[in-house]
Amino acid sequence: MSKKKEKKAGGYVAATILSVLWLGINYYIYYPVINVQSTEFWNWLLIHSIVVSIIFIFFGIIGRNDHKKISFHDNFIYFRHGLGRVQLILLVGIPVFCTLVLFFGGLAGSTFFNAKRYASLMPVEQRDFTEDIPESENVDNIALMDTNSARVFGNRKIGSLSDVVSQFEVEVDYTQINISSKPMKVANLRYASFFKYLNNKSEGIPGYVAVNPVNSDAEYIKLSEGMKYVPSGYFNNNIFRHVQMHNPTRIIEGCYFEVDDVGKPYYICPVLYARVGLFSGMDVKGAILCDPVSGDMEYYDVEDVPSWVDRVYDGDLLEQKFNWYGELSGGFFNSIIGQKGCIRATDDYGYKTIGDDVWIYTGVTSVNGDASNVGFIMVNQRTSEARYYTISGAEEYSAMSSAEGAVQEKNYRASFPSLINVMGVPTYIMVLTDNGGLVKMYAMVNVEQYNMVVTAESQEELFSKYKKLLANNENKNNGAEGEEALVKEKEIIVSEMEYITMEGETYVYMKDETGDVYKMLFAQDESVIKVSVGDRVLVQYDENENGIHDLIVVELIKKGERLSKAPEL
């Protein structure tokens, strides 16, 4: 072999080795998905085809000929024949092809051509609020605490553990989950620094934090074996790299920390696919469940995901799908010009536990962006089932401002509210926090009349005050209309009275001379302790068909005195 040919062959080998090293190192660092439905893949291919071409040019492979001095004309002649023509096709053809795919793939998925397809991505069922949302006696299934407050309690808990706080911190992101039909916010620990990762990687992350968003209790759960694959891990211990590189062709959108019903940790990694055009209308196809202790993974189609998993669909994706439905159902041009019937979700959302699932909740307003809602949606984060409720009223931020205004002298901030059913009335409930993120008070705001606001320092007092406010307002309205009051009231003689403790709460049961029973939470009105068997009392109550009625107000009538109407509330 001639020296020229040997030199040329050596250039080929050197350029090939350098290109392979470059692509391998870059793939390991960024681990892009290898899937034609991913714009990330085509951008990666576009950029690195150019880089590889530059590498070959640098080593003199492209543009080389037999002349010692290489000119532009020589290069042009070289690209016209044989290997030079192939190299020209690769140099120019791959970037041009990637650019065309990105352009026409994006165009094929535009809302201009696919408005109806976008609108059909989320079937939305209109439901009745009072049938789907049971009346709330308390807030033991409502995640009132926002993530900022959860961080405060979680960090405080870890700060009290000297053996943990020196090496680890709590992850910023908390996941809202449901354990035994009770809401819970959980977050994994993370390595405090790269060097602390090196010191602890063999044992892994020792535990996680669970914060009860109802009563603000925070607990550190220590595991028998540490988690090796976590977001704060480096190299092969990084959970995102670990999952993506074992599933190179699947489009994975994040990994969310959860625990199952017995407290075993997992990362839930949704797998997406395009439902409109080549890249657009991204939706969840399934989920990969990764054990962060062993690194074992298992893929499930979305309909087969275990029932204990709470977050398969991200809340932002669910809001986006509803907005496509709300804005594009009437066609593309209607969404831009007439906007007849166009609606969209408000900017934020809360969480609500129903059965064994976590649903996101948010208001629905017109696209004009006024300060009122035309309804509400709740969407299941595991199945994407969507329910729409037509309830007109104030949007969430107006209700938050109303609650803050009730205690404006304290400068408390309201959390994003949850929607509950109190005596059949749609009601916002939220927490009020101080500047440090600690929960100081609770607030309820009537959805339809957001000037009806109550605040209290305990949940029991809050419910009691709000029910009294509703009863007073209902009696006034019914008195003006001459109709029968929905909230009943009458005088009774107490024939029996018992205090019964259930699930840590004490309830008062009173039976009257006719055999009807009235119950209430003792903490709702501790003055009931003054009532004894044989006393005549005035009761306001919510009537139940089973004869066990929900007490709202109980008023002791003094001996020899008979009240003919309810006291002012």
Report the SS3 class of residue 519.
strand
Q: Do residue 64 and residue 13 come from a single domain?
A: yes
3-state secondary structure of 518: strand
Same domain, 180 and 273: yes
Residue appearing with tokens 């109190």: 422
HSE (CB half, 13 Å, CA atoms) of 374?
14
Two structure tokens written together for 564: 């003919």
What's the rounded Cα separation, in Å, for the pair 221 and 227? 12
- Please check whether residue 142 lies inside any domain of the structure: no
Of 442, 458, 481, which residue constitutes the final position of a domain? 481
Q: Looking at this protein, which amino acid is placed at residue 250?
A: R
Asked whether the beta carbons of 518 and 539 are under 8 A apart, the reply is yes
Domain membership flag for residue 140: no
The pLDDT profile of the chain, 569 residues, written as one tens digit per residue, is: 555 555 555 667 787 889 899 999 999 999 999 999 999 999 999 999 888 878 877 776 554 544 445 444 455 555 566 666 676 777 778 889 999 999 999 999 999 999 999 999 999 999 988 888 888 766 666 667 778 888 888 888 888 887 788 899 999 999 999 887 788 999 999 999 999 999 999 999 999 999 988 777 889 999 999 999 999 999 999 999 999 999 999 999 999 999 998 999 999 999 999 999 999 999 999 999 999 999 999 999 999 999 999 999 999 999 999 999 999 999 999 999 888 889 999 888 888 888 788 999 899 998 875 667 889 999 999 999 999 999 888 888 888 988 998 888 888 999 888 888 888 889 999 989 888 778 889 999 999 888 889 998 877 788 888 888 887 776 656 554 444 445 688 899 999 999 988 766 688 999 999 889 998 878 777 788 889 898 999 888 878 777 888 888 888 886 545 444 444 43
Question: In whole angstroms, what is the distance from residue 227 CA to residue 194 CA?
Answer: 16
Distance (Å) of CA 117 to CA 25, 120, 274, 318: 40, 5, 12, 16
Task: Quote the CA–CA distance of 50 and 54 in Å, as a whole number.
Answer: 6
Domain endpoint, select from 447, 464, 481: 481
**pTM, full prediction:** 0.79
Same domain, 11 and 69: yes
Q: Are residues 331 and 465 in the same domain?
A: no
291 and 332 both lie in a single domain:
no
Do 426 and 279 fall within a single domain? no
Residues 272 and 412 in one domain: no
> Looking at the domain assignment, is residue 137 inside a domain?
no
Query: Domain check: are 526 and 496 in the same one?
Result: yes
563 falls within a domain: no
Q: Are residues 401 and 521 in the same domain?
A: no
DSSP notation for 557-568 = PPTT---SSPPP
Number of domains the chain contains:
5
CA distance 541 to 539: 6
Q: Is position 562 within any domain?
A: no
Rounded Cα–Cα distance for residues 105 and 277 (Å): 7
For 277-298, b where at least 16 C-beta lie within 10 A, e where not — what string? bbbbbbbbbbbbbbbbbebebe
Kindly calculate the radius of gyration of the chain based on its CA atoms and give it in whole angstroms.
32
Domain coverage including residue 92:
3-108
- Whether 139 is in a domain gets the answer no
- 468 and 500 share one domain: no
**Distance separating alpha carbons of residues 465 and 167, to the nearest angstrom:** 46
Helix H or strand E encompassing 315: helix 315-328
**Which residues, in sequence order, are CB contacts of 277 under 8 Å at separation 6+?**
105, 106, 107, 108, 109, 110, 114
Q: What is the dihedral of CA 417, 422, 424, 426, to 10 degrees?
A: -10
Determine the Cα–Cα distance for residues 21 and 483; give it in Å rounded to an integer: 83
Q: Quick one: 304 and 414 in the same domain?
A: no
Residues 302 and 322 in one domain: no
What's the CA angle centered on 324, arms 250 and 271, to 5 degrees?
15
65 domain residue, yes or no: yes
**Residue 283 covered by a domain:** yes
Which of 426, 455, 481 is where one domain is finished? Answer: 481
Report the alpha-carbon distance of residue 214 to residue 462 in Å, rounded.
14
